[in-house]
Amino acid sequence: MQIEFKKVPFSKKNFQINYNLVNFEGTFCKMSQELVKIEATISGTLETICSRCGKDINLTLNENIELIVSDGVYSSDEDTELDIVETYDGILDFDDILNGELESIKSDYHICTECMGDSQMLEKEF
């Protein structure tokens, strides 16, 4: 799903997209001509691999995200703790944003239940 920056309203609008088994839904609205705020939930199941043994695992997602999409380089002087996503073609692309979020979730450390069992046994041995 894509929407042109200039068509994004200043009042909150709902959106919802699905990607495989992942559901991405929430609201978006303009904060200024160049900035759009997204408040959303990512839920569902994401396939990834165990960081230790490489086995396929399914992560159950339930993440609240809040981020700002900037049309062009983000140049506000205001400090923000929100994640900033910059885009350069004047398009707000929800699929891109979701993919970015999923990649960052995948890059976290995830281990399968077997490896989890291993490390618990190791801890008991010590």
* Interface contacts to Zn ion, rule CB under 5 A: 50, 52-53, 55, 112, 115
**Smaller CB separation from Zn ion, 25 or 118:** 118
CA 94 → CA 14, 60, 105, distances in Å?
A: 12, 21, 16
Q: CB 57 → Zn ion: shortest distance, Å?
A: 7
Instruction: In whole angstroms, give the CA distance from residue 69 to residue 28.
Output: 10
Q: CB 4 → Zn ion: shortest distance, Å?
A: 44
- Which of these, 94, 2, 8, 109, lies nearest to 50 by C-alpha position? 109
Q: Give the dihedral sign, CA 16/18/23/29.
A: negative
**Smaller CB separation from Zn ion, 86 or 114:** 114
Residue in the block written with tokens 């705020």: 37
**Smaller CB separation from Zn ion, 46 or 112:** 112
**Smaller CB separation from Zn ion, 34 or 118:** 118
Q: CB 21 → Zn ion: shortest distance, Å?
A: 21
At position 112, the amino acid (one-letter code) is: C
Radius of gyration, CA atoms only, the chain: 18
